[in-house]
Amino acid sequence: MSDTTATAGKARGRFITLEGGEGAGKSTQQKLLAAWLREQGVTVVETREPGGSPGAEQIRDLLVTGEAGRWDALTETLLHFAARRDHVIKTIEPALARGNWVVCDRFVDSTLAYQGFGHELGREPVDKLRALVLDRLMPDLTLILDLPVADGLERARQRATSTTAAEDRYETMDRAFHERLRRGFHEIAADEPQRCILVDAAGTAESVADKIRVIVAEKHEDTLS
């Protein structure tokens, strides 16, 4: 899918994802990055996973609500990839083909970290589903917001509202789960250093946003200069 011809002769857009554990600040940084890119003259589509298309949003409800043990690891992984397939077909690929930039809050690396490492499903099932569902589509740049587990969970607790509290299924999982998924993100970054960059998310939202802008500007200086 990554070789789809851009429409009307336009250059294909860029695909940036933000990853990290609970409370790392992905949603905030997505908004700040998208706003900055628009200031640079870029047309941006903001989206999220699970979700990002009507069908995927329906599946999201199955994943982020309910008790922690609602699904086993493989069932959960299959649900994420079902949502992702619809999201890619309906939202991501059309936007990239139009020449838009896509900034996505979570993508396939979250499945590897959460289900592969956190739930200890392993890499192989996730990699097989990634090849089947995504073909060759992968982000151009992945920013992994890194925060100690205790700090992230405390941030998540403090930011909770009546709306977000209903989507706290992953936050209620035990500390060992969150430590495994953080190690998973570190391993993903080490395995693909050309695509993935760890970003220290311990500072203020604006200081983290400054780091991200520098990384994106350097990575895409041919487009943003």
Domain ranges in the chain are: 13-220
Q: What is the pLDDT of residue 165?
A: 57
Q: What is the pLDDT of residue 125?
A: 97
Q: What is the pLDDT of residue 221?
A: 83
Write the DSSP assignment of 95-133 as a string of letters. Answer: HHHTT-EEEEE--HHHHIIIIIIIS---HHHHHHHHHHH
**Cα separation of 126 and 66, whole Å?**
23
- Report which DSSP code applies to 10: P
pTM given for the model = 0.91
Helix (H) or strand (E) holding 193: none
Q: What is the pLDDT of residue 223?
A: 80
Tell me the pLDDT tens digit for each residue of 148-193.
999 999 888 887 764 455 678 888 888 999 999 999 999 999 999 9
Fold of 13-220: Rossmann fold (3.40.50)
Q: What is the pLDDT of residue 117?
A: 97
Residue 68's nearest CA partner among 106, 127, 121, 118 is 118
The low-confidence residues of the chain, meaning pLDDT below 70, are: 1-9, 161-166, 225
**Cα separation of 9 and 64, whole Å?**
39
